[in-house]
Structure 1
């Protein structure tokens, strides 16, 4: 059933984008792939410039601008910065936390990887997860130029705007719980 919904979105999406329509298809509330909740449909690759998707468009404007500047510079060095996750609804964040509790066996362990909806900087639009690993590595090395900092030592992909461009990033915290 879900695969059929995904196929339907993938078939409709190009037409939606070509038509310039700002309304994106949803998948009946499945936050993992529902753009309205901050999800990214399967088969879709987002860049910091894909602002028609809420995962990018609902990011804090200063964070989005810094990401766009970094992506432009990285591209000149043949590094493509993609958005693996950006802004999310509280409901989507809760689903991720619930999944982590199931995976790790307790809230305490899950919190090392996933914040609560009340504490998540993804929910406020102030955090972004980048991909692929090469892009995250590039941002770890060059992110301070844009004010972008790796926040958690156990999540090389998670960045927030934590310093002025050209400033010094604070040391990465051990994990999301600390």
Structure 2
């Protein structure tokens, strides 16, 4: 999600790495960062295998966001409502704690743009798929994509049936 629409990080000051806040420069190999190590083990393994292959092309995978606590997810949703003016508009970018794949450890936001681009082109080989057209950094594990291709993307989270709970 574009960081530009969030208020400064000071509004997140009560949150910590224990909630899934990711310090700058974290990669998929950082085993001491809760946002990384609390990811689903199969997702993390796929990300690490893809990152190793991407490194051969001079691309490094940074984790902008991974696992998040419900508290952190709720704060992000409050920020999105503030920025977008309504719950409906915020839902295009941020899920509730009950529906977010970040809270369950099933999603990672990968940066920088060259890494997201590499993963968009090569991710299906590892089962890593971009899920939303409006979030080119957001990847989830879809093992059925291996040897095939990723499923069609949703325009944004409001189109994803998992978000309708």
TM-score class normalised by the smaller sequence: 0.7 to 0.9
Bigger relative contact order, structure 1 or 2 (CA pairs below 8 A, ≥6 apart) = 2
Query: In structure 2, how many angstroms separate the alpha carbons of the residues matched to 1:100 and 1:74?
Result: 32
> 2:12 aligned with 1:70, yes or no?
no
Pairs aligned (count): 148
2:82 paired residue among 102, 109, 117: 102
> 2:33 aligned with 1:49, yes or no?
no
Extract unaligned runs of 5+ from structure 1. Answer: 1-5, 7-27
Aligned counterpart, 1:168: 149
Aligned counterpart, 2:22: 40
1:119 paired residue among 91, 96, 99: 99
TM-score, normalised with respect to structure 1: 0.80
Q: CA deviation at 1:29?
A: 6.2
Secondary structure of 2:44's counterpart equals helix
Query: In structure 2, how many angstroms separate the alpha carbons of the residues matched to 1:80 and 1:118?
Result: 31
The range that moved more, 159-168 or 81-90, is 159-168
Aligned counterpart, 1:15: none
Secondary structure of 2:137's counterpart equals strand
> 2:64 aligned with 1:80, yes or no?
no
What do the CA deviations read for 1:77-123 (whole angstroms, capped 9, x no partner)? 00111100000000000000000000000000000000000000000
Based on CA coordinates, which of the two structures has the bigger radius of gyration? Answer: 1
